[in-house]
Structures are given as C-alpha cells and as structure tokens.
Amino acid sequence: MRVRPPGAPVPPAIVGTAAGTIFGHLVRMNDGPPHQALKPDITAAIDGVDRHRMVSEAVRLFTRSIGADIGGCNLDTVLFTLPVAVVARLLGAADPELQTIVEAVNDFVKCLPAHATPEAIAAADRGAAQLLGIFEQPAGRAGGLFSDLLRRAREHADIDSAAVAANAIGLMSQTCEATAGLIGNTLVALGRNPDLLALAQYNHDAIDTIVSEVVRHDSPIQNTRRFAVETCRVAGDTIAEGDAILVVLAAANRDPQANPSPHRLMPGRNTARTFTFGAGSHKCPGETLANSIAAVIVHELIAGGLDPSRHAAVVQYWPSANARIPRFAVAG
C-alpha cells in the first residue's frame, strides 16, 4: 500500500505549479527512498524543539495578536493562524514575515483536497510560491527547527535543499488544519462538559490530559488513504491493484477492543490507544508538538475568560473530507 495512487505522485491539477513542487517533496506524500531519506531527520528535528521555548513563543504570539480582548477575537482566525505562526517561529521565521507566511500556508493547504476548485488551486499556487521564496533562503534562520533540519539533511549527500525547504513548509501545512481542529474540538468538549471546564479553569495541568483524550474521542483528523500498487489482502479482504482504502482513524479510536467504553470522554485513561496520528512508517512526528500547542492556546483562551459553553451550544463544521474543525463564527 502506498500514500499516493500509482502513476499520480502529485495531483494532476497541481503538476508543474509551485504547489505541486512542494507536494512532490513532502515525506507525507512519498514512499520509499525519498521518505526514508528525510523522515528520520524531520522526526529528530521536531523532537529537538525546546518545549519551554515553544510555550513562551505561543504565549507571546497569543498576547500580541489577541491581548486581553478574548471576547472580541474571532476564534476561527485564532485556530487557523496561531498554531501555524508558532511553528513558523520555531522554524526561524521573523515576526515581520509571520502574517505573509500564515496566510500563504492557509492558501497552500487549499490545494490538498481532491475536490479543490480552480480558484483554490490558483490561491494555493500563489501561497506556495511565496513560501518557497521565503524558505529557499535559509540565511538568517540559524538556531531554529529549519536550520536544524537543514544541518541534519546535509549530513546525507543525496538530500537537496529544495526537499528540505518543501518539508519545512510541510510542517506548517501539516499543523494548520489538524491543530485548528484539535483546539476547536477541545473547546467544544469543555463547553459541553461543565465539570471538565471547571477542572481546566482551576488546574491548568489538566488541560494536557483533556487535549489528549479529545485527540482520541473527537479526532481532528478523521481518516487517511492508502492505494494498492499490487493486489494484496488486508484484514481478510482482497484489495485489487489500483484500489484505494479509506482508513478511518476516528473509528479505530472508538473500537471497544482498543478502548473500553470508547464513546465516553474520559481524560486520564491510562491505557488509551489512539490512532489519530496514524501508525507505522508514516506515523505523525508532530504528535507531542501538536498536543502542546493546542494545550497552551486552550489554556490562554480559558485563562483569559473565554466561555466555551457559549461557543459549543450549536457548532457547525468546516467542509472537509478528512478534518473535523468546528466553525465557531457561524455558531455565534
């Protein structure tokens, strides 16, 4: 099984565009040598992020963009911008670049769904070109995740710097919708469970545990896909060459054989099995980072007086084939 259909390593609609260039290099979208060459470096670089630095950066950006005006902030904007800005800063981006980067990442991710419109693809291409322009120039980004990744990759002669730049951009695009969903779903969980909200308000450490259980119970990424390059058998079924499998990670999280009473939201389950971040060779390297970013932002919102119950009463969700992201502005 492979992560892309045989014969279409890059979606035909973006072949030859800047968006296609990034897509074609992503470890997420490759198997075999391109994946094996960079995945260990990406994992090691993310694992090397200093958690204290990440937390203080997230708090600083939160204060700078929202300040004390929690009631007046647009939650949807917070969800789609802050996590990307945090990862951009970890990559070594300077403050004046952040707005351009965050907008470009949000444009770039629009080309990822299979049903992307021509307008979305054009915006994605413009965003991708801006991001490549910024991240193909590693100068001035010393001491960050990007320079760490570049240093590690340069130890292998066969990795070109374009692949490193694309995957640095990939860290932000992987963060964007998934972490927005995780923060949003945590706010919904808090808004619907007064006891949990009280716990989060008085014991901020509990937010980490709540976020981890929301990851399982209300998975921000619901599914991923695999494509058969040869006829094979999966779980007793024959999968023909060229067939696609939709792997419903969110359903696996609710399998009673994996988690007793799976439909109950129970922070602190000590034997939780969570499939939200995938498994095997393509497992997400950003799990700890994503959970930490989500916990800090939820903490800042709650500590600043946000009342999640007001937002969780009627929630709509952004249209998406694989992500579950609340749309608060519509909910009111």
Closer residue to ligand HEM, CB minimum distance, 138 or 220: 220
Nearer to ligand HEM, 54 or 111 (CB): 54
CB of 69 to ligand HEM, least distance (A): 26
- The smaller minimum CB distance to ligand HEM, of residues 174 and 193, is found at 174
Task: Give the list of residues 6+ apart from residue 18 with CB closer than 8 angstroms, or none.
Answer: 125, 128, 129, 132
Q: Give just the sign of the alpha carbon dihedral 250, 256, 259, 260.
A: positive
Instruction: Calculate the alpha carbon distances from 221 to 2, 150, 327 in Å.
Output: 19, 28, 15
C-alpha 2/C-alpha 166 separation (Å) is 20
Residue 332: CB minimum distance to ligand HEM, A = 25
Site string for ligand HEM, 34-53 (x = CB under 6 A): -----x--x---x-------
Q: Which is nearer to ligand HEM, 144 or 286 (CB)?
A: 286
> What's 28's DSSP letter?
G
In degrees, rounded to 5, the angle at the alpha carbon of residue 218 between the alpha carbons of residues 212 and 222 is 110
Quick one: which of 17, 81, 130, 175 contacts ligand HEM (CB under 6 A)?
A: 175
Residue 186 in the binding site for ligand HEM (CB under 6 A) = no
Q: Which residue's CB is nearer to ligand HEM, number 254 or number 307? A: 254
The radius of gyration computed from the CA coordinates of the chain, to the nearest angstrom, equals 20
Q: Would you tell me how many other CB atoms lie within 10 Å of the CB of residue 208?
A: 16
Tell me whether residue 164 is exposed, middle or buried, using C-beta atoms within 10 angstroms of its C-beta: 0 to 12, 13 to 18, 19 or more.
buried
Tokens representing 30? Answer: 């490759």
Query: Three-state SS for 221?
Result: strand
Q: Does 220 bind ligand HEM (CB under 6 A)?
A: yes
Question: According to the binding rule CB under 6 A, does residue 27 interact with ligand HEM?
Answer: yes
Examine residue 284 and tell whether it contacts ligand HEM (CB under 6 A).
Answer: yes
> By the 8 A CB rule, do 245 and 228 touch?
yes
Q: Does 20 bind ligand HEM (CB under 6 A)?
A: no
Of 130 and 174, nearer to ligand HEM (C-beta) is 174
> Quick one: which of 89, 276, 324, 326 contacts ligand HEM (CB under 6 A)?
276
As measured in angstroms, the least distance from the Cβ of 119 to ligand HEM is 26
Q: What is the DSSP string of 99-141?
A: HHHHHHHHHHGGGSSTT--HHHHHHHHHHHHHHHHHHT--TT-
Does position 289 bind ligand HEM by CB under 6 A? yes
Task: Give the footprint of ligand HEM on residues 222-261 (CB under 6 A).
Answer: 224, 249
Cβ proximity to ligand HEM, 272 vs 284, nearer residue: 284
Helix (H) or strand (E) holding 87: helix 75-91
Q: How far is CA 71 from the centre of its chain?
A: 26
Cβ–Cβ < 8 Å for 270, 212: no
Residue 171 binds ligand HEM, judged by CB under 6 A: yes
Considering the complex, state which of residue 124 and residue 211 has its C-beta at the smaller distance from ligand HEM: 211
Q: Which of 19, 105, 221, 301 binds ligand HEM (CB under 6 A)?
A: 221
Q: Which of 282, 299, 311, 324 binds ligand HEM (CB under 6 A)?
A: 282
Residue 43, C-beta contacts closer than 8 angstroms, at least 6 positions apart: 285
Closest-approach residue to ligand HEM (CB): 286
Residues in touch with ligand HEM (CB under 6 A): 3, 27-28, 39, 42, 46, 87, 170-171, 174-175, 178-179, 182, 220-221, 224, 249, 276-278, 282, 284-286, 289-290
